[in-house]
Structure 1
Amino acid sequence: MSAKHFINDPTNLVLTALRSITLTNPAVALDAENKVIYLRPSSNSEHQVSIISGGGSGHEPSFAAFVGPGLLSGAVAGTIFASPSAEQIRRCILEKVDAQKGVLVVVMNYTGDILNFGMAVEKAKASGLDVEMVVVGDDAGVGRKQGGKVGRRGIAGTVLVQKISGALAATGASLKEVRGVAQLTASNVVSIGASLSHVHVPGRSITETDDEELNQDEVEIGMGIHNEPGSEKMKDDLPGMVKKMLAYMLDPEDKDRAFLQINKSHETVLLVNNLGGVSPLELSGITCEVVEQLEKDWGVKPVRVLSGTFMTSLNGLGFSISVLKIMDTGLGSGKSMLELLDAPAEASGWAAAVPTKTWQNKSTTTREKARGDNDAAKASNLTMDPALVKSALTTALNRLIAAEPTITNYDTIVGDGDCGIGLARGAQAVLTLLDHASKPAADAAIFLDQVVGVVENSMDGTSGALYAIFLNALARGLRSQSSEQPTPATAAVWAGALDMALSSLGQYTPAKPGDRTLVDALYPFVGDLAKTGSVRSAAEAADAGARGTKGMKASLGRTVYVGGEGWQGVPDPGAHGLAEFLMGLSEGLD
């Protein structure tokens, strides 16, 4: 675990985090003394059941960032991983939310939370308010035997209960209806988490936080969101982890954990939740794995998939899976579980924004072909000798591939070492194109289109982008000179197209001769070809330009900030690679 934090004072951290929510959502306010975020009163809004939740801090965006129209009316924050006091909660119920139609308190199944929220609920009832409480225990990591009388812990499935009950309250439903649907949701959701590491709480020593840190190759299944021990530690890859987690949640033969019976006939909602330390990129991959295994192994195809950060464990390097079985609310149109889940919520922490209509549309339409694609590319009527083109390009590309070690060495000195590999990869791909074609297209523009497609798919990085832009513009330059009748693509035609391509390239890079880039070889080639009409002369001009970059200080490119010692003794790698290709081309044409 990492013990480094930007804010190490936990009290200041919690208060500033709560204050930030008022900066991102003008509909909410902060009672700093009681650490309560609540909806600002509005003269335009009708009375509705208020939904209150809360718990220890460290689970953001739960719960304070879920306060907003359509979701929670108030949230009470404790210190990190500790329940708020009954007095904080009582103040929220009595002073900070609209209680005219009643108040529903949604709390996770942790002893401290139940006792403190329960005490506040009873005090509020004693004062004459209509208040109900629903407890969520959805964690399949805790079996019946282990849970005993306490039952399962509450984890990320709680946010589905909050969202559905909050949306129902916004419709004007009664407290009895809202409580009933909240309980129905809580009874039909099951979750489990997994983590690669325990978390460190700001302001605590590492030993205070955890003295049983996981090994590098271990994962803990069922770890609680406060660093509580999980069900088991295992060594496996992601598919193996997900398989185990889903079995804990859905296996009807596991009598200790078969809390919810789900089969392929049931409509379900899947929530894949980031525990705080997983990148969005990885979470997307995890979501895909979960969806695939649900269908393959359990026959379950969720009708809604929510993936994101909803309930964290500080920066926990893990994720949780929640599955909700959709049940009939009995409240009619517009008040089904799915419609309530899809309903908009003006809360800064709620990240699921896809409306019911889009989900129900179930469109399978795709765009497989770009607008500019044609079954047959537009001919330029500028002709070439296919055999000569293949021979010349083969010579040029092989020379470039042979130069890869030298180019890579140069780029290791002045850059990040990938220039030669990228050029060689592109060259090999074009060679493959030439080998697989019976003969290159006789039309210069059509042939260039084929080369561009290969370059775009095989070369990445800055060099790949520059070559793709230039070659696309070169094809356009050829077509701008097309004629009605077949006409040879002379050196003058190519020079004109090259000049247009050079101009187009200048729109995307400020590089000019003297900046130590491949342009130092490209400009001399284009200029000399226009003047002499000789590829040999133009290639030699490019080679001289590339050699001239030796000792030249870079103004553009990665060399500006990567290059270390020794750059004065080597040419620019990109310019050298282009010159090698052009010299090979001239040899092949001789």
Structure 2
Amino acid sequence: MIKSLEVDDSVILSLRGFVASHENLKLLKADRVVYRSSNPKKPYIAVIAGGGSGHEPLHAGFVGENLLTAAVAGDVFASPSTKQILNAIKLANKDKNCKGVLLVIKNYTGDVLHFGLASERARSLGINCKTVVIGEDVSVNSKFVGRRALAGTALAHKIISAFAATQGEKYGVEDAAAVGEIVNKNMITIGAALDHCKVPGRKFESSLKENQMELGLGIHNEPGVETLEPIPSVKDLIEKKMLARLFKEEGNDISFVDISPKDEVLLLVNNLGGLSNFAISSIVYTTLELLKKKYDIKPKIVLAGTYVTAFNSPGFSLTLLNLSNCNKSLKKEYGINSVSDLLTLETDAPGWSSFRIFKNVSEYEDILYSEKDYDLKGIETDDIAKLDKVGKIDYKQFSKILTSACESLKKAEPHITHLDSQVGDGDCGYTLVNGCNAILKNLPEWESEKLSFSEVLHKLSEVIEDSMGGTQGGLYSIFTSGCLAGVLENAKGSSDQPLNSELLAASLNHGLDILFKYTKARAGDSTMIDSLEPFVRTFNETKGDFSKAYKAAEDGMNVTSKSKAKFGRASYVGDSSESVADPGSVGIVEFLKGASKYI
């Protein structure tokens, strides 16, 4: 739908929808100004920001209690007009408790000109209005326009606004602007992205090749200062390219902010719009590790998430703020002990996320580097010690069968993965191989400990669940646990009974009955059950005839290529699941094929 909209339409519709979904916000539609529903009941300084649309949640997302008073939205990647900004200033100045208005401006030419002109006009009307310009990008430093504003803008908004909301009785607009300058001169940011973003209503354009990415790009689809080819690993990108520019290193003679191990530091990892939360969290950990390892810097405050975007840009930025320097200045000039006091001031602004403050070094070390999650004493017990030892195993034969079965399945992985890429999400083969590798890894230990069949089934259930994950891991783990219950039930209290075909058949049959309690899939539904059920039932009915059971499993697998899947992801793809054998069913047959060589 957005593709068919004019850009101007998409901006106002986005603002109207945003305000409609957040009760603390209102919209001045004619001027595209988002403002908060209520203001402080005591003297305060109004803080207004804005700029081109496309950076959400910046700017409107930071309107709220103890944050921005209002935000002015321009067209996509374009500054709002002077008229829009001036009307936002007038709106804020109407409140009797407002002592003045501070405009927080991102350092881009259009924003600086239009917000600056609006400030001048406001002052000519008798409104106490000042400006502060934010620009913290380390990748560019023009002697004419300075540094670009990036994700650090969100930090400036919060810190300045918290000061303006709480110190209005004591200080004025000039002081709020000075706080912004303190923050800005102690803040550095650099961004990186795999590609440019897609702007609504415009044709997507990019000069990047598939094996290239950009370092030091802006937030308006500007090219980066360096094209990286080939694309480095995340670790190398952060360490050798991004942190190297944030700190003064060889080949980089610019150091905007000095940061040493003794300094308290804030780290902001910002999603430029197109990365998953999964990826951002991984980037956070990698960055923290590298800061500690290479610079002996342990950030006191860590923020991560989507703060300042460039639509769906597949990239992120890193921002560092020297808290020690800020705290010294804030304490000296305004009696404020810590930036964290301003950051933690509660707000209902939709775009402001929660963050972590590390109280001390040991807490930081524990969270990042300790392998111990919590004390399991009194919770975790040696379950296997309580288990009846049933079914003596001939490990020489057992190892041959299991090893051959696993190797056969591993060899078939490319074929299984190909099938699953047509009817599923392509991970069936990899998941099965993970299970096989885990079994092969643990097999020597089971043999050395002379574990009984019941003990092996207990261990096997845990190994499968831990190594395979997902639906397959759950199903096989339940099946194995059911087999264990079958062994214990059919052993008739004898701990000396060896593992034989009769005991194995009863065990497998019981395992299948237990599995059917948790899945509605049956033979004929084009799933792994099409091979597993006929194998188990035939093996049990024939008192352990493996060749007949294997043939039944193979026949069941062949049926899956002639019917539509009724369960699992393959059921979502409609008729395209027909003519393709079920990957899980193929996996069972390949496993049994390998086992048959030593049975």
Greater CA drift, 580-589 or 454-463: 580-589
Q: Deviations over 1:410-444 (max 9, x none)?
A: 88568568756754664454344334554464433
Change (3 A) 1:259 1:471: same
How far 1:289 sits from its partner (Å)? 3.7
State yes or no: 1:391 paired with 2:397: yes
Matched, 1:59 2:69: no
How many angstroms apart in 2 are the aligned matches of 1:12 and 1:263?
Answer: 48
Distance 1:241 1:407 in 2: 32
Q: Which amino acid aligns with 2:518?
A: Y
Distance 1:555 1:183 in 2: 63
Name whichever of 516-525 and 157-166 sits farther off: 516-525
| TM alignment of 1:84-233, pairs within 5 A | 84-96=80-92, 98=95, 100-143=98-141, 147-173=142-168, 174-176=170-172, 177-204=175-202, 213-233=207-227
- What is aligned with 2:522? 512
Q: What is the match of residue 336 of structure 1?
A: 338
> 1:367 maps to what in 2?
373
Question: Structure 1, residues 485-506: CA drift from partner, whole Å, max 9, x if none?
Answer: 7353777765665455334323
Cα contact 2:214–2:224 (8 A) shared by 1: yes
> Which of residues 376, 380, 383 is equivalent to 2:387?
380
Contact 1:195 1:319 in 2 (8 A): yes
Mark the CA change 1:334 to 1:559 in structure 2 (over 3 Å): closer, same or farther: same
Aligned letter for 1:267?
E
Read off the aligned partner of 1:555 and give its amino acid letter: K
The Cα shift of 1:578 comes to 3.6
C-alpha change, 1:517 and 1:60, in structure 2 (3 Å) is closer
Sort the Cα spacing of 1:87 and 1:502 in 2 relative to 1 into closer, same or farther, 3 A. Answer: same
**Paired residue type of 1:378:** A
With over 3 angstroms needed to count, the CA separation of the structure-2 counterparts of 1:121 and 1:425, relative to structure 1, is closer
State whether structure 2 residue 255 is matched by structure 1 residue 274. no
AA of the residue aligned to 2:404: N
In structure 2, the CA distance between the partners of 1:358 and 1:350, relative to structure 1 (3 Å rule), is farther
Deviations 1:222-249 (A, max 9, x none): 3332244544444362455433333333
Secondary structure, aligned partner of 1:12: helix
- More divergent stretch after superposition (395-404 vs 77-86): 395-404
Which stretch shifts more, 83-92 or 172-181?
172-181
Between the aligned partners of 1:244 and 1:268, the Cα distance in structure 2 is: 20
Q: CA deviation at 1:110?
A: 2.3
Q: 1:427 to 1:53 in 2, by over 3 A?
A: closer
Shift of 1:347: 1.5
Structure-1 separation of matches of 2:520 and 2:316: 45
What is the one-letter code of the residue matched to 1:444?
A: F
Give the match's secondary structure for 1:346: coil
Is 2:283 the counterpart of 1:286?
Answer: yes
The answer for the alignment partner of 2:548 in structure 1 is 540
Q: How far 1:515 moved relative to its partner?
A: 1.8
Tell me if the contact between 2:491 and 2:503 (Cα under 8 Å) persists in the aligned partners.
Answer: no
CA gap 1:403/1:303 in 2 versus in 1, 3 angstroms: closer
d(CA) in 2 for partners of 1:306 and 1:135? 22
The one-letter code matched in structure 2 to 1:226 is: H
Question: Equivalent of 2:322, from 313, 322, 325?
Answer: 325
Question: 1:105 Cα shift?
Answer: 1.7
Cα displacement string for residues 98-118 of structure 1 (whole angstroms, at most 9, x for unaligned residues): 452332221112232223222
In the TM superposition, 1:467-486 aligns within 5 A as: 467-478=476-487, 486=495
Report the Cα distance in structure 1 between the residues aligned to 2:585 and 2:228, rounded to whole angstroms: 52
The residue aligned with 1:346 is: 348
Q: TM-score, normalised by structure 2?
A: 0.82
The one-letter amino acid of 2:351's match is G
Once residues 573 and 225 of structure 1 are traced to their aligned partners in structure 2, the CA distance between those partners, rounded to angstroms, is 44
Q: Which amino acid aligns with 2:443?
A: L
Q: Deviations over 1:83-142 (max 9, x none)?
A: 112221121121246452332221112232223222222333333333332111212222
Query: In the alignment, which of 3, 8, 13 is matched to residue 16 of structure 1?
Result: 13
Distance 1:503 1:171 in 2: 66
Return the alpha-carbon distance in structure 2 between the equivalents of residues 125 and 374 of structure 1: 73
Of the candidates 460, 470, 480, which is equivalent to residue 451 of structure 1?
460
Q: CA deviation at 1:77?
A: 1.0
- Aligned equivalents of 1:268, 1:425: Cα separation in 2: 41
Q: The residue matched to 2:130 in structure 1 has which SS?
A: strand
Cα gap change, 1:57 to 1:565, in 2 (>3 Å): closer
Q: Tell me how far 1:185 sits from its aligned partner.
A: 1.1
Specify the alignment match of 1:246 in structure 2: 243
The separation in 1 between residues aligned to 2:302 and 2:220, in whole angstroms, is: 26
Cα 1:526–1:373, aligned 2, differ >3 Å: closer, same or farther?
farther
Aligned residues: 574
Post-superposition CA distance 1:282-337 (Å, at most 9, x none): 33343334333333333322111222221122333333222111122228898620
SS of the residue aligned with 1:508?
Answer: coil
> Which sits farther off after the overlay, 544-553 or 185-194?
544-553
Query: Which stretch of structure 1 is more off in the superposition, 488-497 or 272-281?
Result: 488-497
Task: Output one character per residue of 1:131-188: Cα deviation in whole Å (capped at 9) or x when no partner.
Answer: 3321112122223xxx224322222211111111222334354443533322221221
Distance 2:480 2:116 in 1: 71
Partners of 1:566 and 1:342 in 2: CA distance: 53
* 1:493-572 → structure 2 map (5 Å cutoff): 497-527=507-537, 534-536=543-545, 540-541=548-549, 543-544=551-552, 546-551=554-559, 553=563, 554-560=565-571
Identity in percent: 34
Secondary structure at the aligned position of 2:511 is classed as helix
Residue type of the alignment partner of 1:52? I
Kept in 2, the 8 Å contact 1:89–1:117? The answer is yes
Q: Secondary structure at the match of 1:138?
A: coil
* Deviation of 1:9 (Å): 0.9
Whole-angstrom distance in 2 between the partners of 1:246 and 1:400: 44
| CA gap 1:205/1:543 in 2 versus in 1, 3 angstroms | closer
Question: Contact (CA 8 Å) 2:105, 2:134: kept in 1 or not?
Answer: yes
Q: Specify every segment of 5 or more residues in structure 1 that has no aligned partner in the other structure, as ranges.
A: none
Which shows bigger deviation, 151-160 or 427-436?
427-436
CA 341–482 in structure 1, closer or farther in 2 if over 3 Å, else same: farther
Cα deviation 1:557-588 (Å, max 9, x = unaligned): 455466989966x9755446545656876886
Partner secondary structure for residue 400 of structure 2: helix
Aligned partner of 2:567: which letter?
Answer: L
SS at match of 1:70: coil
Measure how far apart 1:23 and its partner are. Answer: 2.6
Q: Which amino acid aligns with 2:551?
A: D
Moved more, 511-520 or 265-274: 511-520
Question: What is the letter of the counterpart of residue 555 of structure 2?
Answer: R
Give me the whole-angstrom Cα distance separating, in 2, the residues matched to 1:172 and 1:510: 64
How far apart are the structure 1 equivalents of 2:556 and 2:250? 75
For 1:458 and 1:252, the matched residues in 2 are separated by 42
| CA shift for structure 1 position 475 | 3.0
